[in-house]
Amino acid sequence: MFVAAQMTDDRPPQPGAPPPDLGDFGDRLRRAQGQNEPVGPQETGAGGVNAKGMGAAFRIATELIAALVVGAGLGLLLDRWLGTRPILLLVFLALGMASGILSAFREAKRMGAASE
Amino acid sequence: MEEAGHAEHSPLAQFEIHRLIPLEFFGIDASFTNAALFMLISVALITWFLMAATRGQNLVPGRLQAMAEASYGLIAGAVRDNVGTEGKQYFPFVFSLFMFILFANFIGLIPHTFTVTSHIIVTFALAMFIFIAVTIIGLWRHKLHFFSLFLPHGVPIFLAPLLVPIEIIGYLTRPISLSVRLAANMLAGHTMLEVFAGFVVALGIFGFAPFLFVIAIYGLEVIVAFLQAYVFAVLTCLYLSDAINLHKH
């Protein structure tokens, strides 16, 4: 966007003769854009499957599971290091669940803010 | 895909890695594999695409130039919206990342090709690079103040022993969720395509039903290929934003 906008605005005229109908290009562009319905970006795919919704669901699901896995892994590592098996595993499993829910919640909140 | 009918052909065979040019350095297997080949193809295609698209630099863009400008605008917008003006300097990184994943995903959709991004080691390497880079950027910009990221604003201090480990786990989860999301999406989609393509052959005349389904899934996969590349880029932006702006979720 930083450059793309400038590219179309500030470019000096081409050395060759510019197309004669370029003067009303802005008007024609606006008219053409007005004709199109404002469609959301790729809401539904083939077969009416909502790809965006599936992506959102998948995002939250991985968030939950990954946090749980990381929590369990950290717990196991610390247990092995400190020799406190299985106390820290249980503690970090719970923390992992909490972390997963927290990030899933944040993700959902961000999606809600983005769709408004 | 036409091989899917054979009983011995597994739908997972498409993910196998073959050595094309065996190489070994000091006992480390560094062979040139089909994965490496398709990564090279992705990079070559991206280079060709962007060079060809920007060669003309017309005031009114042609098809190729419009595609390049659209992808540029998409990522530039994502960086600006999620990181702010300070994120500008990281735009080349995010854009390269997005284009690489996008092209790898799209190339993988062509039958008989190899999907680089379906391998978790590839996506994990990308995610780990982002994770380490973001941590270094955060530490470099904010010094030790960076660790205040793990204590949300306005939290009573007696809750800190509970919340700080939760936030740290959340931080360590990032490379895993980032890489698993992309690889699992690609793996699942391609396996599903191949399984249903196998049904088409196995069912003979009734194969048209799964065939229609394959077409529908393929359409979905095209969207997923784009969406996952975009999600990867946007999440990279969000992590960068955390490192640059600290508490502005």
Question: Which of A46, A62, A99 minimises the CB distance to B166?
Answer: A99
- The residue-averaged pLDDT of B112-127 equals 94
Q: Do B177 and A66 count as a contact with CB atoms less than 8 A apart?
A: yes
- The residue-averaged pLDDT of B236-244 equals 92
Closest residue of B to A97, CA-based? B166
Residues of B in contact with A7 (CB under 8 A): 57, 69
Instruction: Enumerate chain B positions whose Cβ falls within 8 A of a Cβ in A.
Output: 57, 59-60, 69, 72-73, 76-77, 80, 88, 91, 165-167, 169-170, 172-173, 176-177, 180-181, 184-185, 213, 215-220, 222-224, 226-228, 231, 249
- The upper half-sphere exposure of residue B206, i.e. CA atoms within 13 Å in the direction of its Cβ, equals 3
Q: Do B216 and A47 count as a contact with CB atoms less than 8 A apart?
A: yes
- The residue-averaged pLDDT of B146-167 equals 87
Spatial CA neighbour of B14 closest among B103, B127, B110: B110
Question: Which of A52, A54, A98 minimises the CB distance to B166?
Answer: A98
Q: How far, CA to CA in Å, does B33 sit from each of A98, B12, B19, B41?
A: 41, 17, 4, 12
Q: Do A66 and B180 count as a contact with CB atoms less than 8 A apart?
A: yes
Residue with the larger pLDDT of the pair B43 and B11: B43
- The residue-averaged pLDDT of B200-210 equals 88
Residues of A in contact with B223 (CB under 8 A): 42, 45, 51
Across B3-12, B160-169, B215-224, B226-235, least confident range: B3-12
Q: Do B170 and A49 count as a contact with CB atoms less than 8 A apart?
A: no
Q: Is the pLDDT of residue A43 over 80?
A: no
Give the start-to-end residue ranges of the domains of chain A: 67-116
Q: Is the pLDDT of residue A8 over 60?
A: no
DSSP annotation of B28 reads E
Q: How far, CA to CA in Å, does A14 sit from each of A23, A27, B55, B56?
A: 14, 21, 14, 11
Residues of B in contact with A92 (CB under 8 A): 165, 169
CA distance B246 to B244: 6
Q: What pLDDT is stored for residue A45 in this prediction?
A: 46
Contact status of A90 with chain B (Cβ, < 8 Å): no
Q: What pLDDT is stored for residue A112 in this prediction?
A: 82
User: What is the ipTM metric for this complex?
Assistant: 0.76
Whether residue B219 contacts residue A47, with contact meaning beta carbons closer than 8 Å, is answered with yes
Residue A31 confidence class, pLDDT cut points 50, 70, 90: confident
Task: Convert the pLDDT of each residue in B59-69 to its tens digit.
Answer: 788 888 999 99
Q: Is the pLDDT of residue A115 over 80?
A: no
Q: What are phi and psi of B20, to 5 degrees?
A: -90, -45
Contact status of A45 with chain B (Cβ, < 8 Å): yes
Question: Which of B165, B166, B176 minimises the CB distance to A66?
Answer: B176
- The residue-averaged pLDDT of B42-53 equals 94
Q: Is the pLDDT of residue B45 over 50?
A: yes
Candidate ranges A51-60, B139-148, B239-248; pick with highest mean pLDDT? B139-148
Give the start-to-end residue ranges of the domains of chain B: 2-245
- The residue-averaged pLDDT of A27-53 equals 61
What is the sign of the dihedral through the CA atoms of B192, B194, B195 and B201? positive
Contact status of A29 with chain B (Cβ, < 8 Å): no
Contact status of A71 with chain B (Cβ, < 8 Å): yes
Residue with the larger pLDDT of the pair A113 and B119: B119
Question: Which of A25, A52, A67 minimises the CB distance to B170?
Answer: A67
Task: Convert the pLDDT of each residue in B22-40 to its tens digit.
Answer: 888 888 888 899 999 999 9
Q: Is the pLDDT of residue B93 over 60?
A: yes
- The residue-averaged pLDDT of A16-30 equals 69
Residue B6 confidence class, pLDDT cut points 50, 70, 90: very low
Q: Is the pLDDT of residue B176 over 90?
A: yes
